[in-house]
Structure 1
């Protein structure tokens, strides 16, 4: 342990609200994991307190950062992917303090990757993938090559993370190392997009065609969580109802475009309901296929 951080770790370990402390040190081959800091301290605390406390320290030319996060916030980072480095921190960090085996149990849960968490994480990545692919395709049609390229690179990243999750693992910061071992097709698409000597429009055209096929193969697994949530109610859902339901909240701004994609794929159907004035209709969504 970095000796100058020992008193800080002791202070947090003495608090009854602290469940565990992990230390992540910067290494030459993996400096990205610590955001250039020499040390990251991850302190996991009781969910009753504030969701996150952040503090930075320095001694001579060394610097450290401390994240004190509630169980709820850490779970949000891990499941929703809102802080991708948290997976590396939990799996690879040195355990400095572990009250009642909390960190060990957390690692075991992540290794098992509960099916419900997996379906939710796949749904979120699938929705982001649809967003990036759709925008990239539209920009390609408008001949905005560089903007289309940017979206398609991001789409491939979401496709890569989907592959990793489907294999029962959490996507890491070095996700392409994971994908290279799992699905050579996606890895090759990424290599061809960023490294080919073909003109950019040609690369994008080929990628859009290949991506459409791969995305289609993920429709069932990628929409499984959303479709299960829709089954909680008999009948059709309005977008307003979905936005207000906690199971749909993680999809955030990507929910609507995912719904429309699933309508195109005949997973969902649109039902038009008359409004009070009867001059226009409100769109509702209902499951069209019961196979999921």
Structure 2
């Protein structure tokens, strides 16, 4: 996977200009990120002409990022079917993105409910929530335009998400935010420069990648701060909860109904995707920096590793 953006321990704009934020606390990082947001934030509602027709041969994501790419089923599909498949797959991924961005917003707002309202940390937290609202609207508009459908996680995951947003705090909340955003981010980084992808989807990807670079740096600093001095039991439990959340997110990214809506045999497509080593390797190689960070802060324990392996993130 190629990308022009650095993101390991740094925030960066979409052209790869690194905003170095290493070895700083949450307040210092927030100050820098506020300045970055003021310079670089974008608005898809004004930047994208949503009335333009879609080119019939353009994909929803790079073909290599399809969950069926490289399978026998993929090889049987016509070009038209492949285009339809990638559009429904990426619509599903964006809709799942809306779901966990709404969870994220609740976590951040609750964390700042009785915060220091004059602080830059509080101010950037509000910027992040505003960004996520725009991102969810952007994903909603993109899904509506591309396939006219909504996809949601299964009922169990939906209920667990409700529990998570009420009980998660400190490193569990922010590591959960980081994992969820990184998972979506890897898909978009792999597709945003690809001329085979619909132009408005490329713009959606660029906007999200640009702004999530700031959000992920903020989450990393929150995790680092929360993990200072934590005990053995709390560290083990937090690591396990975060890994279980990561597994549920990855397992629900492409909903089985998306295959049916693309005109495929849902059962066969879901089965082949579940055993598609190419797709698994794409996810695994893209999560390297995330796994390194979790290991750095002590959240990559043996029990957690089992779930990351099941999700093909390591």
| TM-score (normalizing by structure 2) | 0.25
The structure that is helix-richer by fraction is 2
Higher RCO, 1 or 2 (CA under 8 Å, sep at least 6)? Answer: 2
